[in-house]
């Protein structure tokens, strides 16, 4: 139980760092004139390798080989990247500001990521 709590707190910290980085980077990209969906996609994709290493080594302390865990992690992130591109596009149809959509993407993706990483990507079962 205590290990799960530590893992969850670490995930929130690393995920929070990733989410803040994503929001700032995506927002800065929109300031260059890029569309919100493209800014979101670029920001998210650029953070994948960095966050993978932090999740594997800090959060899950995984001994699973990169050849096993990274393809799974990448698969999860492809889904998340699709969400990070599609959700802002859809929310724009409802006149939702890009910065709000970035927060919604970050929250939704964090929930999905934790579940899949804990049970599938870094699991030794």
Q: Where are the domains of the chain?
A: 2-121
> pLDDT at position 83, please?
85
Ramachandran angles phi, psi of 62, nearest 5°: -85, 135
Q: Residue-wise pLDDT tens for the chain (125 aa)?
A: 677 888 889 998 998 898 899 999 999 999 999 999 899 889 988 998 999 999 999 999 899 999 999 999 999 988 888 888 898 889 999 999 988 988 898 888 888 888 899 899 998 77
pLDDT at residue number 38: 93
3-state helix, strand, coil in the chain (%, to 5): 85, 0, 15
């Amino acid at each position: 139980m205590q290990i799960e709590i530590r893992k969850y707190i670490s995930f929130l910290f690393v995920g929070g760092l990733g989410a803040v980085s994503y929001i700032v980077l995506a927002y800065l990209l929109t300031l260059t004139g890029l569309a919100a969906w493209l800014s979101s996609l670029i920001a998210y994709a650029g953070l994948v390798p960095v966050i993978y290493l932090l999740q594997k080594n800090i959060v899950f302390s995984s001994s699973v080989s990169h050849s096993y865990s990274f393809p799974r992690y990448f698969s999860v992130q492809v889904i998340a990247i699709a969400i990070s591109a599609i959700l802002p596009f859809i929310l724009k149809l409802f006149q939702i500001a890009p910065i709000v959509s970035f927060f919604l993407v970050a929250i939704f993706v964090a929930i999905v990521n934790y579940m899949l990483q804990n049970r599938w990507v870094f699991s030794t079962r």
